[in-house]
Amino acid sequence: MARQFDVPTFYKSPVVSTVKEARRIQDPRKKDLSPSILDFGPVRFKLARHFGFCYGVENAIEIAYRAIDETDGRRIFLLSEMIHNPHVNEDLISRGIQFLRTTTGEQLIPFDELRADDIVIIPAFGTTLETKALLSNIGVNVEAYNTTCPFVEKVWTRSEKIGSQDYTVVVHGKRYHEETRATFSHARSVAPVVVVRDLDEAHKLAAVIRGHETAGYFYEQFVGRYSDGFDAARDLERLGVVNQTTMLATETAEIGALLKRALFERYGNDGISHFADTSDTLCYATNENQDATRALIDHRADLAIIIGGANSSNTSHLVELCEEHMPTFFISGPESLISRAEIEHFDLHSYERKRTSDWLPTREPIDILLTAGASCPDVLLDQVMAQICAWYPSASEPDEALIPFLKVTA
C-alpha cells in the first residue's frame, strides 16, 4: 500500500477526494487515463485522471507542518518557496515561516543573521552543495527538515554515478530553476555539466557533437550553462541525459535520442559506449500528469482550466499541452474567476498576468477540462468548480454530480 502522508485537512476536498477514491478502486493499476466527468447539467467538468499533490509534495508538506509544530520558540525559515504554489506558501508564511531567498536565488535574509538553533527547511526542489555547506558551517542541522523530493535525489544519484564513469552530464531543465541549480551543483562535483532548455538547444548541442559547429559556437550558445573548465572538444564525447523532474518527459526522451544519434554519427558503432542510459530518472508523477492531460485533450471540450502557481514548471507544461488544442486559462485558484464575463490568468508567452473577457461560452451545456499541477491542493479544484456552478442557477448540487462515484466508494 502506498504511504499515507499527514497533509492538513484544509488542503483536502470532499468532491475531488471522492472522485480520486472511486478511480483508485476502479483502476488500481492506473491503466485507464480517461477523464472523470462531473455533470452539473449546464456545465460539465472533465477532470484529468492524475493531478494534484504528488509523493514529493505531500512529503514536503508533512515535514514543513511538522517543523512548525516542533519549533519550541525557535525561529523557522524556508530556504526558498517549498513548492511553487502561492496558496501553500502564503499559509506557511502566516504560520511564522520566513523565506531566506526568492525562487530565483535573490537573498532576502542574509545567512549571517542565522543562528545554529534556527530551523531551516530545505525545499522540495533541493539545494546546492554550496548552500548546504554554508548552512552547516553556521551550525544549522540541514537534514532535520530536508523536504527534497526523493525523485530529485534519484536524479542526483544517477548524475553522480555516470559522472564518475567519465560521462558528461546533460541536464534538460531551466538553468535558474531551483531544482536545476541543485542538480547542476551535485553533478559538477564529479563531472562536466551542461544545461539544455529544450529540443532546439539540443539540436545546437548535437551540431557541435557531430562536428558541424565549433567549440566557439558551443561557448557562445551555452554561455552561463556549462560548468567551469568545460572543454567542448573533450567533454562532448561521452554523455548522459538527466532532467529537471518537472520538464516534459517526452521532450527529455527526444533530447536523449537526438544526442545519442549524434554520437553514433560521430563515432559509428562505438557510439553506444558514448551514451549512458538514464531513462530511469524520469519522475513518475510528471509522466502520469502529462499522459493524463493528453488523454483529457482527446476527449475535447470548449476550454481548459489549469490550476497552479505561475512559477510552477510542471503546471506550465500542462498548459502548453492544452493550449495547442483549445482556449486555455492558467489560474492560481478561484480568486482568478472574476465573473462569468472576465477571468484573470497567467500568460506563459508574455510571463504576465492578463484579464480576458467573454471567456466562458454562453451556450449550454459547456464542457470544461480541469486539471492542476503537482503542487496544487485538491481543494482549489472544488472551489473553482463551485464558483463556476454558482453562475448557473440550474446547476446540480455536488452530491448529485458525484452519484456515479459514490456508488463505487459505498
**Which residues are identified as catalytic?**
179
Which of 166, 173, 249, 170 is CA-nearest to residue 205? 170
Please state, in angstroms and rounded to a whole number, the distance separating the CA atoms of residues 205 and 320. Answer: 24
Residue 107 DSSP class: B
CA-to-CA dists, residue 372 to 54, 102, 308, 355, 379, angstroms: 11, 23, 6, 20, 11
3-state DSSP call for residue 45? strand
Cell numbers for 333, please give them.
Answer: 485558484
Q: Would you call the peptide bond into 398 cis, given omega within 30 degrees of 0 as the criterion?
A: no
As beta bridge partners, residue 37 has: 46
Cell numbers for 313, please give them.
Answer: 514548471
As beta bridge partners, residue 347 has: 352
Please state, in angstroms and rounded to a whole number, the distance separating the CA atoms of residues 402 and 333. Answer: 22
Residue 248 DSSP class: -
Supply the DSSP string of 377-410, one letter for each residue: -HHHHHHHHHHHHTT-TTPPPHHHHTHHHHHHH-
Please state, in angstroms and rounded to a whole number, the distance separating the CA atoms of residues 70 and 220. Answer: 50
Supply the DSSP string of 162-202, one letter for each residue: HHHTTPEEEEES-TTSHHHHHHHHHHHTTS-EEEE-SHHHH
Please state, in angstroms and rounded to a whole number, the distance separating the CA atoms of residues 33 and 349. Answer: 29
Is the separation of the CB atoms in 79 and 147 below 8 Å?
Answer: no
Cell numbers for 142, please give them.
Answer: 540541514
Residues 6+ apart with CB under 8 A from 350: none
Which of 205, 372, 288 is CA-nearest to residue 29? 288
As beta bridge partners, residue 194 has: 170, 226
Residue 335 DSSP class: G
